[in-house]
Structure 1
Amino acid sequence: MDTRQLEYFVAVADELNFTRAAERVYAAQSTVSAGIRSLERELGTALFERDAHGVRLTDVGEAVLAEARASLRSVERMRDLADREGPLRGTVRVGIFTNLTRVDLPGIMGEFHRRHPGVDLRLGPSPSGSTGLIEDVRQGRLDIAFHGLPDVVPDLVVQHLTDSPFRAVLPEAHPLARRSSVSLADLASEPWVDARAGFGNRVALDRAFAALGLTRRVPTELADLGEIPRFVASGLGVAALPELTIIPADGAVVLPLRPTIEWRLSAIARERPGRAAEAMLQLLSERVGSV
């Protein structure tokens, strides 16, 4: 058994697709398939079920996956310890928010590449927002991720980056659009456009309503926060978003919200992150913390 076999196994387990897994590990699909078969022979059991419907982990595969991730993390840590003074190498997998309008994410990643050219970057969002990103870090699918939930995450390293107040977003023809500010009570009876359940901003807003003894109806849910102002402008409802995430849209107005609700943006990583992940956390703190 070697680490490359484990890398192939983890990639296929994450992607549930041999073609995508091969692209991820920069290997031919035949090489990945052969590596999985070799690992299964060595363990004496099947790790995947393969049929016309796709690829699925077997019960044994599910159990082995956590150990495979832990083994790869240990190997990565050993390499870090053996080469503390050398240039950073490897890969950093970062779970991102695609709608941080005042955060120059491409610029930050470009700066990281200039500082550490030997480190490859893998960036991507989660369809379930912060909740999904936290689980991806826990399971070892990501090294670092943005995090916007108001909850404490005790089993992960959490690094506070910045805070951003919520702002109300209303159609410009709305009767309240000309006010200097609006309250949650003003908007409670309106139809809402919001992120899906699990997104940090949705959780924070739901709790603010509950704390005031208010309820609301959310008939329109989106997985892309950046699109919410456009849907508000079309007349589907009102919204409230962290100021840091609002992309202006023609036909929508942005107003201060009462009471003030702060959204906290953090970065999370598993305990004892590798050197490259530590460097990424430091850079995020430098660049996002100054926004």
Structure 2
Amino acid sequence: MELRHLATFVAVAEEGSFTRASARLHVVQSAVSAGVRTLERELAAELFDRSTHRVTLTDAGRALLPEARATLAAARAAQEAVELVRGGLRGTVRVGTMQADALSGFSLARLLATFRAEHPEVEFHVRQGFSAEMVEGVRGGELDFALLAVSGRRAAGLELTPLRREVMALGVHAGHRLAGRADVELATLAEETFVDGPPKWGTRVAADRAFAAAGLERRVALEVNDTRTIIDFVRHGVAAAFLAPSFLRGQEGVALVPVRHHAPIFETFIAEPADRRLGAAATALLELARQQVRDL
């Protein structure tokens, strides 16, 4: 089983297309098809269902994908270790991140700029996304590590370095009927119109879990993929939202009302794989990230 065939398989699986995989790998499509067929013969199993317009994984393909990613990651780590001995850190680091507003002062841009100044040969691939999806990306080997939010300070298959823990409050516009209250119960908010991120967003997950813990449901009428838009909707009285205090940072027109019981907790972390060794470049960048967290 050759590494190039595993790399071809992973490219097809991630792109969902032999054509897009060939463009990504910079080889002709016939070479991609031949590489997959060779791997299927060696494993005596079909890895893709080619009966639809989109190429999808078979059960065997789904079983192979995480192992293929782990094998390729181990090969990259070995190569980077040798290159480090030869006098220079090289390689590619794949990082996932939430929106900057949610990182409470931690700057991914500053981290990458500081690292690049010392290791100019290292290449970065950065992907912004939902926390729940980035959890799977780190577990499955698509990402080396990620800046994300999870609830409960625990996620199977991940090592978590805490960034920040904040108790969220109810955000309403300054003239709202609840703006002057000392606190509020979740049960009194059944008639409120809420704005929040999509279901896989870290703040949305935290708020939904708080309502579930209280045995309640809420109505999220407005879904947006942007923290600043959420705050703008609150400021103009369009809807209420659960906000971490650090999101506001000097912004006016929004009142934060503490939640008396079952307050949502927004926790952010650096997540790395618990059962996969990272390459030299990713390990060095991760250590610098931890140092910046300690400095904060």
Smaller-chain TM-score bracket: 0.7 to 0.9
The one of 118, 121, 124 aligned to 1:118:
121
The equivalent residue for 2:177 is: 175
Matched to 1:222, the amino acid is V
Show CA shifts across 1:159-201 (max 9, x none). 1122334243323442334x38653549623121122333332
Counterpart of 1:142 in 2: which secondary structure? coil
Matched to 2:206, the amino acid is A
Question: What are structure 1's unaligned runs of at least 5 residues?
Answer: none
CA contact (8 A) 2:151 2:265 kept: no
Q: TM-score, normalising length from structure 2?
A: 0.80
Matched positions, count: 286
Q: Structure 1 residue runs of 4+, over 6 Å off? A: 247-250
Q: CA RMSD in A?
A: 3.2
How far did residue 212 of structure 1 move? 5.3
CA contact (8 A) 1:181 1:258 kept: no
Compared CA separation, residues 66 and 214, structure 1 to 2 (3 A):
closer
The equivalent residue for 1:133 is: 134
Matched residues in 2 for 1:61 and 1:213: separation? 40
Matched residues in 1 for 2:23 and 2:250: separation? 37
How far did residue 265 of structure 1 move? 1.2
Counterpart of 2:101 in 1: which secondary structure? coil
Compared CA separation, residues 187 and 237, structure 1 to 2 (3 A):
farther
The equivalent residue for 2:161 is: 159
Matched to 2:287, the amino acid is Q
Q: TM-score, normalising length from structure 1?
A: 0.81
Matched to 1:11, the amino acid is A
CA contact (8 A) 2:174 2:255 kept: no
Q: What does residue range 148-227 of structure 1 map to in structure 2 within 5 Å?
A: 148-151=149-152, 152-177=154-179, 179=180, 182-185=183-186, 188-189=189-190, 190-211=192-213, 215-227=217-229
Question: What are structure 2's unaligned runs of at least 5 residues?
Answer: none
Identity of aligned residues (%): 36
Greater shift, 56-65 or 231-240, is seen at 231-240
The equivalent residue for 2:278 is: 273
Matched residues in 2 for 1:89 and 1:57: separation? 32
